[in-house]
Structure 1
Amino acid sequence: MDGKPGLRERKKQRTHAAISDAAITLFLEHGFHQVSVAQVAEAAEVSKRTLFAYFPTKEDLVVHRLADHETETARVVRARQPGTAPLTALREHFLKGLRERDPITGLNDHPQVRRLTRMILDTPSLVARMERFKTGAERALAQALHESAGIPDLTARLAAVQIVAVQWALAGDNAQRLAYGESAEARTPGAVADAEHAFALLENGLRQLTG
């Protein structure tokens, strides 16, 4: 066995990609609510039944592209170098994402990424669907902190909620700015400064609020 997917699996991957590409193309051209699932299925040359087998909801046709990021913070914590604190690893990873213009940091102004971000931000059902990713990210990170860093369960859960919320707030600020005109280059210094400030707050707790 060479580890490569078999013919059936490759066919499924091609079908999945074809449906996704057709959906994104139609949504960006006409609007999320203006395009029906039937139209997506027709454009991808599959039946509605086949489409729903790959994407259970219409919203999944969009947000599945971010699905790999749901457990990203947990993976960073588990893969950190020995002696590296979890928060340090997460800070370095987020700053690296900013440098590399990773769309998950909100700092990517490629035209299609900008349009996709704007569509998500302007569609309540997509925003709500993204919240499910946020909850999943919190759960996965809490488990990683507990299992790989030996942090007590309650502390791990409370820390995970704060860390994920901070990263989502940073990415949301960047995405909002870029979706409506600001360039990634212009935003970068502010994005880095905001990230440094946010992780300093996480590192020091909320002492500034205690007087």
Structure 2
Amino acid sequence: MGLRERKRQHTFDAVSALAIDMFLERGFDDVSVNDIAAAAEISKPTLFRYFRSKEDLALHRIADHAGEPARVVATRDAGLSPLDALHRHFLDGLARRDPVTGLNDDPRVLAYHDLVFSTPALAARVEEFRVRDERSLAEALSPEAPGALPARLASAQILAVQRVLARANWQRLREGEPAATLHSEAVAAADQAFGQLRGGVGF
């Protein structure tokens, strides 16, 4: 990355971090783009050169994961099935306390999660990410027929499992359980869930 790109990335990260701090303190709807630009000491047009919308200011940490399931499948080791690659990736995320797995009890991460899913505009944008991920994963699972029903069903089921696992972890953390204590149960739940995917619904 060249100097110009590094400077741009530094500004991008700094403005987004500032905006998220303001959203957490005052609420998403009570902070305007003008407020953020003033606090960052940049003009509003400059801000919009980095972020297309106010929602993007809040969600770039989630947007960084966009397309991740498809990338995991596309770059998996030879001989590893797509489902096994995604299972392994989710377990690695639990070990890293990746917030996308729901198993991160940093107070700011929990507050950020609450902000996103209690704000309709942000939750709606996250749903857009999910739809795109579902489409790209279907393409990675079945490049020759990504629009066929089997690929679309498999993609939807896999992403639903990951979402349910993450939400369950997050809920238990909100109830006061520490991530370190919950980790082994989260791993067992992930193993059970991916096992159910391999074996069929079972109902």
Report how far residue 9 of structure 1 moved: 2.2
The correspondence for 2:135, drawn from 93, 118, 139, is 139
Report how far residue 181 of structure 1 moved: 3.0
Does structure 1 residue 158 correspond to structure 2 residue 158? no
Name the CA distance, whole Å, in 2 between partners of 1:169 and 1:152.
24
- Per-residue CA deviation, residues 93-143 of structure 1 (Å, 9 max, x unaligned), is 101111111111010111221211121122122111110111111111111
Report how far residue 52 of structure 1 moved: 2.0
1:1-211 maps to which residues of 2 (within 5 A)?
Answer: 4-5=1-2, 7-147=3-143, 153-154=147-148, 155-206=150-201, 208-209=202-203
Give the RMSD, CA atoms, in angstroms: 1.7
Name the CA distance, whole Å, in 2 between partners of 1:88 and 1:36.
44
Report how far residue 26 of structure 1 moved: 0.9
Name the CA distance, whole Å, in 1 between partners of 2:33 and 2:169.
31
* Identical pairs, percent: 52
TM-aligned CA distance change 1:100 to 1:8, over 3 Å = closer
Number of residue pairs aligned between Structure 1 and Structure 2: 202
Of the structure 1 ranges 45-54 and 132-141, higher mean CA displacement relative to structure 2 is found in 45-54
Of the structure 1 ranges 116-125 and 103-112, higher mean CA displacement relative to structure 2 is found in 116-125
TM-aligned CA distance change 1:71 to 1:152, over 3 Å = closer
Report how far residue 80 of structure 1 moved: 1.1
TM-score by length of 1: 0.88
Runs (5+) with no aligned partner, structure 2: none
Contact 1:142 1:159 in 2 (8 A): yes
Name the CA distance, whole Å, in 1 between partners of 2:175 and 2:16.
25
Contact 2:134 2:152 in 1 (8 A): yes
- Per-residue CA deviation, residues 163-183 of structure 1 (Å, 9 max, x unaligned), is 111111111221233245332
Name the CA distance, whole Å, in 1 between partners of 2:70 and 2:189.
22
- Per-residue CA deviation, residues 11-34 of structure 1 (Å, 9 max, x unaligned), is 322221221011011112222222
Contact 1:117 1:179 in 2 (8 A): no
Q: Which runs of 4+ in 1 moved over 3 A?
A: 150-153
